[in-house]
Structure 1
Amino acid sequence: MHIDTPTTSASLEGSSTSASQWLSVIAVAVSAFAFVTAEFLPVGLLPQIAHDLGVSPGVAGLMVTTPGLMGAILAPTLIVSAGRMDRRYVFLLLTTGLLISNIVCAIAPNLAIMLVGRALLGGALGGFWTLATAAAPRLVQAKDAAKATGTILTGVTFATVIGVPLGTFIASFASWRLSFAATAGLVSLALLAQAFLVPSLPSASALRIADFKTLLGRPHTRLSMVMVALVFGAHFSTYTYIAPLLEHDFSLSAITLLLFGFGLIGFFSNALASMVISDHLKKSVAAMVLLLLGAMSSMLLLEHSPIGETAGMLLWGIAFGALPLCFSVWIQRSTTDLPEAGSAMFVSIIQVAIAAGSAVGGTIVDRAGIHADFTLGLGLALLGLVTLQRLAVLERPAAASALDCACDASAD
């Protein structure tokens, strides 16, 4: 599937990416910041929202489950439906949907209306991430594609550094409703940045259902998606309910600082990963999954130890700060011929992991407690590591075949 590049970029490998092109990347990164802030805002506010709406923390976790489910369904659906529509206009429509979502959540009188707003977020979110990860290489010169992807994903880490903790901070002196209203203001800024800075992104051909079938027919792609689902499931089945775990040992302001530390160290982890990932992708993925396992283990083993839980949160921040970039580059490399299809599948799998992880985690928290939930998370992360090892084994025959071909060619 061929996709035309925007008029602001050139095809020469040696050309330098212009300032206007980098500004377009930053505009998408600001939008990513707004989307992720809105998506995970309830994580730090879960106890307060649950109390005000008269539901248990596990049921309140549906605020994370619902957008994940909608994103999984609509990530491929929206992009297929968009056909050959200029991707710039699709960006603008999806961000408008996010704005409406936050307004609905800010005024929601009950859980049902809240979930309507969160469902709208999920639909916009799925489409946005499909476009963002596929469009990143189109906004800059070819040699800067990985850097552009890393810059956009920096919006994710900034959201965890600033966005989510800021929402928790606002709620500590005002209310969680004002947190959603403030997020709506942030989305408005992102919408303006897109309108003025993102260039035309025409699509020469529409995404087809057959493209998904092609990718699913590849064993490496299927196994890669399983790995992503397991690791993201491990994270969201536990991180969604981190506030109820921490509130026994920390005040709301202290939890805000922990979430800030989680995001801040994740920002530096993302930056470091972007420098080494090109040459050490598998090692980077393995290291981050191992850190995730260590972080969740420490949260269990060192429970009620403020120092131990703080160390666990920081380790967790390092792991999750790098994992989205690691997996995004992994999928980009394995679906280079069908980038939008690969991106849509990647986003759908992540949203399924968020929805299933938070839903199952919420059920376990309400019925068996936090310990059982974290045990599930550890098991999923361990399975993700096993899947990575299987992918390495799967790639060995292909590498050996390529080496044989090279030897044959040199012999000739």
Structure 2
Amino acid sequence: MPTPTSETAHTDPATTRPDRMPWGALVALAAVGFLLLSAETMPAGLLPSIARDLGTSEALVGQFTGTWALGTVLVTVPAITLTQGLPRKPLLIGALVGLVLANAVTAVSSDVVLSLASRFVGGAFTGVLWGMLAAYGRRISPPERGGLALAVVATGAPVGFAVGTPLGAWVGGVVDWRWSFVGLSALGVLLAVAVVAVVPALRGQARTDRMPLLRVFLLRGVPIVLVVIAVWMLGHNTVYTYVAPFLRDGGSGLAADVVLLVYGVASIGGVVVTALVIDRRPRLLLQASIVGFVVAAVVLVVGHAQPVAVLVAAGVWGLAFGGASPQLQRALSVAGGAQSDLANAFLPVAFNLAIAAAGLVGAALLAVSGGLSLGVLMAALGVVAFVLTVVGRRTFSA
């Protein structure tokens, strides 16, 4: 846990930790998270339109998301490491501008290779932003409300799942898929202006306060938090990515968009619950969330043919997993201490590696044993994540 000295050294003297929550700034940072999630997942709802317009296959267009994730994985940690000493607000704005330009290129490109390159660049800028948001929210908020600040900032991701991606698909269907990406760029410009107006400035780390990358990775608590992230995300994404074949093999007759809508709405509730509890009982909250996740998986498997059971499971799943991001970001920030920016740079890497692995693992399971096995894996990995929180209870209690 950071000492008062290290925390003060890490904060701009002009923006020392206030006594009141900076709600406007936190909402602006949450909106950035909404933009990031929406931009990453936007191609999922537009695959046929993009493929038809670019004269290529849906399978290749499907790599728009994979290429984005690759940019995040390869660039995030080196970028955050090299920019530790830079003032945080200009870096935040600069990364937003880079994301705006990448989405603009995607919107106008008629060449699939250029489009894939723009998605890689967009993923790289996204990784820098994800690596900054959690620490930024904590540093501009009262120390005792750091968990609440993270929960507010994290609302952007589930809202992006529940609203951003479906809205982009609707715009693409009514007008043209390119306008969905134009909308992302326009939103990015508005958010850059909002950040300039309401987000406090923070200085970077002094050279004497910095640690080598490997030492940050090996700080007590950081490795186990990253393993929990990877395991829990793998269990989640394996089913989330292949929810359509899971539902088809289950025989409930439910469409994937209905189940995901229930999940998305419930996940917002999960963030609200997290905001209310995270600063008081962080470990209990995390463990209860994982238990709820396991229960949802079991219900999905046992009640796979019953529409009501599947919808209830989707609601429990969203409620349990919706607050995962702020809960794990809090644990990683506390474990990282004064190095929280760099520690949080590992988070999007772990997330995106789990996303990539989920695609491969899910495809293998579908080929070998069918969709229902995905729910079994979801439950098993949830149990593993729970055991890890027990083993690392000191880290998750701090």
Q: TM-score, normalized by length of structure 2? A: 0.83
Tell whether the 8 Å contact from 2:95 to 2:128 is kept in structure 1 after alignment.
Answer: yes
Residue aligning to 1:383: 381
After alignment, is 379-388 or 73-82 more displaced?
A: 379-388
What amino acid maps onto 2:113 in structure 1?
Answer: A
Change in CA separation of 1:282 and 1:49 when aligned onto 2, cut-off 3 Å: farther
Write the deviation string for residues 290-315 of structure 1: whole angstroms up to 9, x where unpaired. Answer: 33344445555555755444334323
CA shift, 1:210, in A, is 4.3
User: What is the alpha-carbon distance in structure 1 between the residues aligned to residue 305 and residue 52 of structure 2?
Assistant: 23
Residue aligning to 1:164: 165
Change in CA separation of 1:8 and 1:27 when aligned onto 2, cut-off 3 Å: farther
User: What is the alpha-carbon distance in structure 1 between the residues aligned to residue 325 and residue 343 of structure 2?
Assistant: 15
- The count of residues paired between Structure 1 and Structure 2 equals 389
Tell whether the 8 Å contact from 2:42 to 2:168 is kept in structure 1 after alignment.
Answer: yes
Tell whether the 8 Å contact from 1:83 to 1:207 is kept in structure 2 after alignment.
Answer: no
Residue aligning to 2:316: 315
What amino acid maps onto 2:377 in structure 1?
Answer: G
CA shift, 1:163, in A, is 1.1
Tell whether the 8 Å contact from 1:61 to 1:359 is kept in structure 2 after alignment.
Answer: no
Tell whether the 8 Å contact from 1:293 to 1:378 is kept in structure 2 after alignment.
Answer: no
CA shift, 1:127, in A, is 0.6
Q: TM-score, normalized by length of structure 1? A: 0.81
Residue aligning to 1:368: 367
User: What is the alpha-carbon distance in structure 1 between the residues aligned to residue 292 and residue 302 of structure 2?
Assistant: 15
Residue aligning to 1:393: 391
Percent identity between matched residues is 23
Give the aligned CA root-mean-square deviation in angstroms: 3.5
Tell whether the 8 Å contact from 2:293 to 2:320 is kept in structure 1 after alignment.
Answer: yes
Change in CA separation of 1:242 and 1:395 when aligned onto 2, cut-off 3 Å: closer
CA shift, 1:50, in A, is 5.4
User: What is the alpha-carbon distance in structure 2 between the residues aligned to residue 292 and residue 310 of structure 1?
Assistant: 14
Q: Select 1:5's aligned residue among 7, 11, 22.
A: 11
CA shift, 1:111, in A, is 4.3
User: What is the alpha-carbon distance in structure 2 between the residues aligned to residue 174 and residue 247 of structure 1?
Assistant: 30
User: What is the alpha-carbon distance in structure 2 between the residues aligned to residue 54 and residue 311 of structure 1?
Assistant: 39
User: What is the alpha-carbon distance in structure 1 between the residues aligned to residue 345 and residue 267 of structure 2?
Assistant: 25
Residue aligning to 1:62: 63
Tell whether the 8 Å contact from 1:9 to 1:138 is kept in structure 2 after alignment.
Answer: no
Change in CA separation of 1:384 and 1:247 when aligned onto 2, cut-off 3 Å: closer
User: What is the alpha-carbon distance in structure 1 between the residues aligned to residue 101 and residue 332 of structure 2?
Assistant: 31
Change in CA separation of 1:211 and 1:173 when aligned onto 2, cut-off 3 Å: same
User: What is the alpha-carbon distance in structure 2 between the residues aligned to residue 303 and residue 45 of structure 1?
Assistant: 28
Write the deviation string for residues 234-261 of structure 1: whole angstroms up to 9, x where unpaired. Answer: 2223323445666999999x76555443
Structure 2 gaps, min length 5? 1-5
User: What is the alpha-carbon distance in structure 2 between the residues aligned to residue 45 and residue 39 of structure 1?
Assistant: 12
Change in CA separation of 1:356 and 1:118 when aligned onto 2, cut-off 3 Å: farther
Residue aligning to 2:227: 226
CA shift, 1:266, in A, is 1.1
Tell whether the 8 Å contact from 2:331 to 2:396 is kept in structure 1 after alignment.
Answer: no
Residue aligning to 2:193: 192
User: What is the alpha-carbon distance in structure 2 between the residues aligned to residue 348 and residue 208 of structure 1?
Assistant: 24
User: What is the alpha-carbon distance in structure 2 between the residues aligned to residue 139 and residue 60 of structure 1?
Assistant: 40
Write the deviation string for residues 265-290 of structure 1: whole angstroms up to 9, x where unpaired. Answer: 21121111221223332332233233
Tell whether the 8 Å contact from 1:161 to 1:264 is kept in structure 2 after alignment.
Answer: yes
1:67-216 matches, cutoff 5 A: 67-109=68-110, 111-206=112-207, 210-216=211-217
User: What is the alpha-carbon distance in structure 2 between the residues aligned to residue 196 and residue 150 of structure 1?
Assistant: 22
User: What is the alpha-carbon distance in structure 1 between the residues aligned to residue 160 and residue 64 of structure 2?
Assistant: 18
After alignment, is 311-320 or 40-49 more displaced?
A: 40-49
Tell whether the 8 Å contact from 2:36 to 2:126 is kept in structure 1 after alignment.
Answer: yes
Change in CA separation of 1:160 and 1:395 when aligned onto 2, cut-off 3 Å: closer
Tell whether the 8 Å contact from 2:86 to 2:205 is kept in structure 1 after alignment.
Answer: no
Change in CA separation of 1:51 and 1:307 when aligned onto 2, cut-off 3 Å: farther
What amino acid maps onto 1:63 in structure 2?
Answer: F
